[in-house]
Amino acid sequence: MGTKVCWCAVTSSPLLRVSNISLSYRTQAGDLTAVDDVSFVVDAGEALGLVGESGAGKSSLALTLMRLLPRNATLHGGTVEFDGVDSASYDDNAFRREVRWQNIAMVFQGAMEALNPVVKVGSQVMEPLRAHRRISRREAASEAHRYLELVRLPSEVFQRYPHELSGGMRQRVLIAMSLVLQPKLLILDEPTSALDVTIQAQIMDQLKDLKEQLGLAIIFITHDIALASDICDTIGVMYAGRLAELGPAVRILNKPEHPYTQLLLASVPRLHQEEQPKFIPGSPPDMTGTLTGCRFQPRCPYAFQRCLVEEPPLIAAGPYHRVRCWLVEDR
C-alpha cells in the first residue's frame, strides 16, 4: 500500500483537478444520472482508486477525463484541469493532438479483446508513436521494444499475433501501448478483472513498479476495494454517482467511516478467516428517478429518520478524510 497522501485542500497545483463534475445519459427510461457533483485531485506520481459497484459512475468519470463520452451523454457542469490548464480551453482537435494519449492515457475495460487480431503486436504498439510522433519506423520499433520490455514481455512478442498470447500478456501489451507516448496520467478501468488471481497479482506488481519508475499518476477503477488498496495512495468510494468517502487508502482500509465502505470491506474474502464474507443487501437506486435523502439509506443498517429526507454532504472525518454520512457529523 502506498503512503503518499494527496488532498485538494493541501495541494495547490495538482496534476489533475476534477471539480464538481455532473453528467447524465439520455435513455429510453428517461435521463439517467451517472455522475453527480464529483470533485477530487490527483497529484503527480499519485494513485487514486475509484471504487464501487457497477453503475456507480466510475467509468463515466474516466470517459469524461478522456473526452470520450458517448453521444447520449450530457455534461451538466464542472471542470477538469490538467497540469493547470482547463480542459475546456482545448477544442476537440487540440485535445486529441495534445492531451488524449499524450498526457492522459487509458486502458479500457475489456480492451484485451480489442487488439486487432490480424496485426502483429509490435505494429500495434508502434501505432500511437507513428500517429503522434514524427519518427521513423525504425525508431518506433525500437521504442515499442523498449516498452514491451518495460512491461516484462519477451522480445519475441513483437512478432506475435494477439491470439498467440495469454490474457495476462495481452493486458501487458495494452499497458505498453498506453505508455509509449509517455503520458503523465494513466487511467486503468478494471485492468485485472478478466484475469486469474496469480496473473492479477503479477500485473499489480508491475503497475506498482511502473508507477515508481516512471513517476506515473494513476486512476485505478475497480469494484474490488482490496485490490485498490494494493496500489493506491488515496481511495474514493463511489455510490450512485457520488463520492461516499474519500481519503488516504491506509485510513479507508483501517478506519472506514461510511457504512457502504464498511460493507465493501466486509465483503472481501480473507484467507485464514472462518467468518464468511458478508454481501451487501439490496441494490443501488434507480438513477432515472428523483432521489431524496441519503442514496444509501435503503441498504444502510444504521439509517435513521434524517437519512430519509436529507442527503448528507461530504463531512470531514479526520485529516484528508471526508465521508458522506450523517453519523460522522453526529459523533
Position 85 contacts ligand SF4 (CB under 6 A)? no
Of positions 9, 205, 209, 302, contacts ligand SF4 by CB under 6 A: 302
**Type and span of the H or E element at 48:** strand 47-51
How far apart are the C-alpha atoms of 50 and 223, rounded to whole Å?
Answer: 8
Q: What's the order of all strands across the beta sheet hosting 321-323? A: 104-107, 185-189, 217-222, 47-51, 234-239, 242-248, 321-323, 315-318
Rounded to a whole number of angstroms, the minimum distance from the CB of residue 259 to ligand SF4 is 5
Position 312 contacts ligand SF4 (CB under 6 A)? yes
How far apart are the C-alpha atoms of 284 and 52, rounded to whole Å?
Answer: 11
Position 326 contacts ligand SF4 (CB under 6 A)? yes
Position 297 contacts ligand SF4 (CB under 6 A)? yes
Position 294 contacts ligand SF4 (CB under 6 A)? yes
- What does R_g of the chain's alpha carbons equal in angstroms? 20
Q: Which stretch binds ligand SF4 (CB under 6 A): 18-26, 66-74, 211-219, 320-328?
A: 320-328
Q: Which stretch binds ligand SF4 (CB under 6 A): 35-43, 78-86, 147-155, 296-304?
A: 296-304
User: x/- binding map, residues 216-255, to ligand SF4, per CB under 6 A?
Assistant: ----------------------------------------
Position 259 contacts ligand SF4 (CB under 6 A)? yes
**What is the maximum alpha-carbon separation in the chain?**
68
How far apart are the C-alpha atoms of 128 and 221, rounded to whole Å?
Answer: 23
Query: Phi then psi for 64, rounded to 5 degrees?
Result: -65, -45
Q: Which stretch binds ligand SF4 (CB under 6 A): 101-109, 161-169, 299-307, 314-322?
A: 299-307
- Between the two ends of the chain, the Cα-to-Cα distance in Å is 29
Q: How far is CA 200 from CA 16, 122, 137, 206, in A?
A: 27, 23, 33, 10
Pick 125 or 307: Cβ nearer ligand SF4: 307
Cell numbers standing for residue 34: 451517472
Position 265 contacts ligand SF4 (CB under 6 A)? no
Rounded to a whole number of angstroms, the minimum distance from the CB of residue 322 to ligand SF4 is 13
Query: Phi then psi for 214, rounded to 5 degrees?
Result: -100, -5
Pick 108 or 296: Cβ nearer ligand SF4: 296
* Residues within the interface to ligand SF4 (CB under 6 A): 259, 294, 296-297, 300, 302-303, 307, 312, 325-327
